[in-house]
Amino acid sequence: MNIILLGPPGAGKGTQAKRLTEKYHIPQVSTGDMLREALKEGSPLGLEAKKYMDQGGLVPDEVVIGLVKERIQKPDAGNGYMLDGFPRTSGQAKALDKILEQLGQKIDHVVSIEVPSSELLGRLTGRRTCRACGAGFHLMYDPPKKEAICDKCGGELYQRSDDNESTVKSRLETYEAQTKPLIEYYQNQGKLRRINGVGSMNEILARIQAVLE
Ligand code: AP5
Ligand code: MG
């Protein structure tokens, strides 16, 4: 099963992708995580991407398209994958359609997680992530048992550098202008599954599972 998780910054794409990975045993392919990983390694690609990420803009299409094309052909993606944060522009969506045609694959469901923008800022500024295992937390909605320590592996929790108020504002504007039009793109392909993204994380997981099964 090949799935796209679509939604604004803070909608819960990463949170739900991690839960769905456990259920369906297909990998989460997050372009944001891949770019942050490249930056951590100090690669030229990571350093180039940082310029865009820090401003709340988008990394050029050809860069992320290349990353995804390579990633979905790895052995662990043989039974499917969950694209989280890709595609994000109509250029990326069209390129993905072409790549999938070449590979003889298709997207089964595009899950659009819908959360009012008034709720997103608080979700993002309160987010904390484990440096070691990538687990996600929220200071209010999903707090770690011990301050700044990951419940799962004991790693250190950090705040993403783009989760400050001014970058979040730019990221939300970028989403409205460049990514939101993909809702119509996939609606026209008959693949769009709209999910109310307000509620507990488990409620939202159940809503997503209901449309996938
Ligand atoms: P990326 O890392 O993809 O960031 P994003 O799209 O802005 O999305 P987020 O990861 O911020 O949100 P999420 O939906 O995953 O929310 P989460 O589950 O963590 O991209 C970062 C940057 O990389 C981009 O700005 C761009 O520059 C670049 N980039 C990436 N992909 C690109 C592409 N394809 N093209 C070009 N550039 C690209 O949840 C957020 C918080 O809310 C967490 O703390 C969580 O615990 C909490 N939460 C989750 N669900 C709930 C709930 N139901 N109730 C209460 N709290 C909740
Ligand atoms: Mg994410």
| pLDDT tens-digit readout, 11-63 | 999 999 999 999 999 999 999 999 999 999 999 999 999 999 999 999 999 99
pLDDT at 64: 98
Q: Which domain holds residue 180?
A: 2-27+74-116+173-212
- Report if residue 191 sits inside a domain: yes
Selected catalytic residue, list 18, 69, 160, 191: 160
Strand boundaries in the chain, DSSP class E: 2-6, 28-30, 81-84, 109-114, 127-130, 136-138, 157-158, 192-196
Does the beta carbon of 52 lie inside 6 Å of ligand 1?
Answer: yes
Name the nearest CA neighbour of 5 among 191, 162, 202, 133: 191
Q: How far is the CA of 85 from the centre of ligand 2 (A)?
A: 7
Residue 206 belongs to a domain: yes
In a domain, 92, yes or no: yes
CATH number at 81 reads: 3.40.50.300
178 lines ligand 1 (CB under 6 A): no
Residue 138 lies in a domain: no
- Residues in the chain with pLDDT < 70? none
Strands in 157-158's sheet, in edge-to-edge order, are: 136-138, 127-130, 157-158
Q: Is residue 205 part of a domain?
A: yes
Q: Number of folded domains in the chain?
A: 1
Q: Which of 88, 123, 128, 207 is catalytic?
A: 88
Residue 69 in domain: no
13 catalytically annotated: yes
In a domain, 96, yes or no: yes
- Catalytic-residue membership of 207: no
The answer to whether 97 and 133 are in contact (CB under 8 A) is no
Is residue 154 in a domain? no
What pLDDT score was predicted for residue 37? 95
Dihedral angle over CA of 213, 138, 150, 55, nearest 10:
100
Told to judge if 160 belongs to the known catalytic residues of this protein, a careful annotator would answer yes
Ligand in nearest proximity to the CA of 36: 1
